[in-house]
């Protein structure tokens, strides 16, 4: 497994674990202050996961932009008659 896949798995694993932990924490009826701190930490971890994904996959996405563009515009192209 490449280092990119491992890094993405680690980053997203932490982000998902944080939100699952936050859901479990909610069942304990936390105070407003504790809940606010928990949600803020979860939001920051999710933001780090998004930006890490963009940083790791950004260049490969840029290099394959023609294929991505072709995939995104496929529903809007005219179909050739056969």
Q: Is residue 36 part of a domain?
A: yes
Whether the pLDDT of residue 3 is over 60: the answer is yes
Which residues constitute the domain of residue 57? 32-65
- pLDDT at site 27: 95
Query: Does residue 39 sit within a domain?
Result: yes
Number of domains in the chain: 1
> Is 76 among the domain residues?
no
Residue 81 has pLDDT above 60, yes or no: no
Please spell the DSSP secondary structure of 1-68, one letter per residue. --HHHHHHHHHHHHHHHHHHHHHHHHTT---HHHHHHHHHHHHHHHHHHHHHHHHHHHHHHHHTHHHH
How far apart are the C-alpha atoms of 47 and 80, rounded to whole Å? 43
For the stretch 14-51, pLDDT in tens is 999 999 999 999 999 999 999 999 999 999 999 998 88
Distances (CA, A) of 60 to 11, 17, 40, 63, 82: 18, 27, 31, 5, 35
Is 82 inside any structural domain? no
Has residue 64 got a pLDDT over 80?
A: no
Average pLDDT of the chain, as a whole number: 86
């Amino acid at each position: 497994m490449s280092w990119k896949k491992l890094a993405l798995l680690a980053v997203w694993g932490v982000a998902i674990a944080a939100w699952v932990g936050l859901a479990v924490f909610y069942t304990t009826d936390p105070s407003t202050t504790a809940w606010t701190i928990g949600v803020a930490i979860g939001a920051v971890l999710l933001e780090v996961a998004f930006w890490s994904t963009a940083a790791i996959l950004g260049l490969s996405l840029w290099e394959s932009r023609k294929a991505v563009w072709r995939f995104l515009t496929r529903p809007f192209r005219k179909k050739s008659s056969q």
